[in-house]
Structure 1
């Protein structure tokens, strides 16, 4: 009986060892074995709250759309529902739904509500993001470098389209723990004091976000772009460099927006809207099958209403504004009023809320510092196979007990 048992144990041990060897052959190389080629990377960015809220002109909104909005031919036009797109090629717009706690396809009606479905007020975010898919490039975790490019265009509209610009073909480059996101911008120049002005601005590829701390571990990352404490010198007016929310988007980005007449949307100018200009987090997933998803924490209650006492910024070409005997048309303190034929109405009281706090969580992200790192232990077949072979040898070597002896 001992010889058959030994043979069975030896055979089992050899089978387990063969399984271990096969695992070495068929298991793909780990990600840190060398550069990876990416073909399904995903970029998510909502720019800032100012791009996703009610505008100061009553009944108008700031919103995102997929694709490049065509030239309306003249200023003072709003985007009709038939021209708005939720998806165009590899670009989509998604909205955070607080009721289902998930990102969902944006809708035309949803551009005018917050995440709970409540009609927007000035300064309350609708919580939309641009989503660029199928990004291609390379990722070298060991070297700490990456380059990912996306194709497609999106449109950012202010005052329901009185002013808008295109953002196309973003590219992310990472080195030494820092990232730079560039894109091609295009749009049309308008002016507050000249409703007839509507000129195409030459397209330019500029830095749209600087990412100060990027980790290339795991499936991706979410990073707050540099904004707070970033200085910018406007062509007209001045940057206010005090308070909790002072800062700026990258200078090349803001210079382009100054050509369009919307420069103050992107740097602190001293009004209550400064809290809404802070750059929103940028999220990148290296693989569309393992997406890193940010989860915003949004307030569903109505914001407090305050009066804004900040003085208006100086204008480059001031003109007298017609007024009635009793009421003067006021200008929002730090925003460019869209080009319209008549003097703009007095703005509604501004809701001075900070940018919604964001609780960022990574799907399938690496363990937090100090936590035990997950292991991919493939050594157990070797131990199991060795144990079975030792048992087989013992069955041959250890002598059987002698019957009849005590």
Structure 2
């Protein structure tokens, strides 16, 4: 049901839319590190999302009866193990194996539950892979793409965990978006099987209680006890109630469609007297150091898995980083007590007073012109560089939600590795396929509208991907209009080697039309000159875009506007100072430290994003990608147009010119290694460049695109990429051509500079 607020304009619609450790057990191996990360959720049968006009609800407490619980717990619970192949999740309460042994397919129906198709399902509970398919006994140790995780105990190794998640449907209870409170009970069980099933236990009937954004999930623990040092021990444990999840260090924003949060682990201390003690917090392990709730750990002192649930000794290449918690997601559809099905087209009687429709008597002409239901959707690509080819890692791209911590500057693993999401809550990443925008995917993230991989050397090459955030709450006063969205998206450069996230963007426009888009920015900081540096950045309120003039009449009367954020002609004052030691653009360190001078040659695309936005990017390592720096990618940096829609209007793939917001129409853009004035590729192409190949081409500024064989790249990661290439003893050209194949695989597996310099291998006896 809509809330109507009378104003001098006549009508404004305001809607609230919220957006296992060293199992020093059974001699199977020892505890290793694990880092908590968020996994994407795309699950069959989950509560579906709907368009903004389908989601109007009464404010305050609402009854729900279809809540869906999604949680992959942590990466260790679906990771390769020292023995038994892998750790995995199973639906239902596991039966008694009678001893510590590896499960087999013959145990179906007795030890573990499946349906007639062999899927891990039991009542309301299913185990689902990251690609949305059900997990089975045969696929339990495989990623969604079919890659085996067996024996992979290096948290930095590619495909070292499956990412499977627990899905529980039909949760019943209440939610209150206004106070960020909820009470939801689910019925069902799931089992943690570690070391192929040699040790396992179960959680049943989780109940969530949240008040003012803080809370817990409680449930019942059951299972079987074992002893690493005495394999003859096997006993059924007495079931007990306890805390499954704590949400005290963070908070949750509850919307009328669902919410997502990271359960407490990081920074949590435990005094558990297990086989292995919690290791002290250090500079090296602080990004994954912590513990599960004490009840959880106390119960696992009896299962033998105690130290798999808190940080013990081990480096980032052990299992330790895989122990941290992944995001937990709850979704639900229309509250059961809302008589309005929210669909104002199939049943007009649902809302006979909708403006501009029959039965809307008593409204003036201005109101009849109004479009939309007061729930705003934001569409924005940021700039072409954020969606373009990259000198290393394949491409730069957008991801829905707040990406989890990778623990170091490295290319995201194949399939996204739980970092990438195309959809999260109110946020969807869309990209054109032909002329139609569709939800993006990991496989399509680096493809243009024609299905061709984007390139740094081909003119106007970018994916045209955009962030779409629905359910913005629109408010109008005499002083202007504001729109508040709930949700996050992530901007990943270099295939994920550097990334940051924007949360809860808000558009503020005063009565004169001057506006700005602000959001809480967070992410991870890196340093070109110290590859060991990887710092969690505290959230900051940052201006992402400024607007000189937004047409409020068009927004409120026509129901949508498209406006280009200020960039062209904007000067950036180098107050944040560069992350590099250099002092001049194009210096030996290849990290621009100041905005280039405006010239006749660069005037069509000279400018900058907002001051505080660029200052923030000093910390992420993306500093010079957001202003003109005399680099070959300068023409791709200007801000792209942003669309705000209050109703059904959605900009199509043909609404923006390929170079919109990036300079003069038809402007020729040469990438690294391309020939000036032609835009032709100079790398791995037909050889039609000025000194074809990466080594001698020229960029858009007519200067050499490389210095001494290094790509002319202004980010902190040029040096990292170059060292990885050199270490491989492959030619530069081959590395570039293989940027999305072998090169990425090598980088993802070895961890760039530091990984190349150390011996890769694990001795389980070292992982105490």
TM-score normalized by structure 2? 0.37
Determine the structure 2 residue equivalent to 1:135: 472
Give the CA deviation at 1:32: 3.8
Rounded Cα–Cα distance in structure 2 between residues aligned with 1:115 and 1:32: 39
**Which deviates the most, 36-45 or 197-206?**
36-45
**Distance in 2 (alpha carbons) for counterparts of 1:278 and 1:32:** 36
Give, in angstroms, the shift of residue 114 of structure 1.
1.1
Q: CA deviation at 1:211?
A: 1.4
TM-score normalised by length of structure 1: 0.68
1:343 alignment partner, one of 723, 737, 747:
723
SS at match of 2:710: coil
Aligned partners of 1:292 and 1:77: how far apart in 2?
Answer: 32
Aligned mates of 1:177, 1:158 — CA distance in 2: 33
Distance 1:103 1:96 in 2: 4
Residue 96 of structure 1: aligned partner: 432
Task: Tell whether the 8 Å contact from 1:90 to 1:133 is kept in structure 2 after alignment.
Answer: yes
Q: Which residue of 1 aligns with 2:563?
A: 223
- In structure 1, what is the equivalent of residue 499 of structure 2? 164
Cα distance in structure 2, aligned partners of 1:121 and 1:179: 34
Note if 1:304 corresponds to 2:680: yes
Matches within 5 A, 1:1-12: none
Alpha-carbon spacing, 1:178–1:60, altered in 2? closer, same or farther (3 Å): same
Mapped partners of 1:77, 1:24: distance in 2: 55
Shift of 1:73: 1.8
Give the drift of 1:49. 0.7
Aligned residues: 308
Q: Within 5 Å, which residues of 2 pair with 1:130-279?
A: 130-139=467-476, 145-175=480-510, 176-216=512-552, 217=554, 218-234=558-574, 235-236=577-578, 237-240=593-596, 241-242=598-599, 243=602, 244-279=604-639
Q: Are 1:38 and 1:136, in contact at CA under 8 Å, matched by a contact in 2?
A: no
Aligned-residue RMSD, C-alpha: 3.3
**1:36-51 equivalence runs, <5 A:** 39-51=374-386
Q: Which runs of 5+ in 2 are unaligned?
A: 1-356, 579-592, 660-667, 669-677, 682-696, 726-731, 737-768
Answer yes or no: is the 8 Å Cα contact 1:330–1:344 preserved in 2. Answer: no
Q: 1:26 to 1:259 in 2, by over 3 A?
A: closer
Residue 219 of structure 1 and its aligned partner are, at CA, apart by: 1.3
Assess if the C-alpha contact under 8 Å between 2:484 and 2:504 holds in 1.
yes
Q: Comparing both structures, which one devotes a greater share of its residues to helix?
A: 1
**Displacement of 1:179 after TM fit?**
1.6
Q: Is the 8 A contact 1:284 1:292 kept in 2?
A: no
Q: CA deviation at 1:29?
A: 2.2
Deviation at 1:332, TM superposition (A): 2.1
Aligned CA distance change for structure 1 residues 54 and 189 (closer, same or farther; 3 Å) = same
1:56: which partner in 2? 391
Structure with the larger RCO, 1 or 2 (CA within 8 Å, 6+ apart): 1
- Given that 2:411 and 2:494 are in contact with CA atoms closer than 8 Å, whether structure 1 keeps it comes out as no
Q: Deviations over 1:39-98 (max 9, x none)?
A: 4210011110111011112x421000101110112222425424221110000000022x
Q: What is the distance in 2 between the residues matched to 1:282 and 1:156? A: 16
Question: 1 CA distance for matches of 2:443 and 2:679?
Answer: 21
- Give, in whole Å, the separation in 2 of the partners of 1:30 and 1:95: 39
**Contact residue 41 and residue 136 of structure 1 kept, 8 A:** yes
1:100-139 C-alpha deviation (Å, 9 max, x unpaired): x121111222112111111211161111000000101224
8 Å Cα contact 2:372/2:646 also seen in 1: no
Distance 1:25 1:103, change over 3 A: closer
- Secondary structure of the equivalent of 2:619? helix
Partner SS, residue 628 of structure 2? coil
Please give the secondary structure, in 2, of the residue aligned with 1:270. Answer: coil
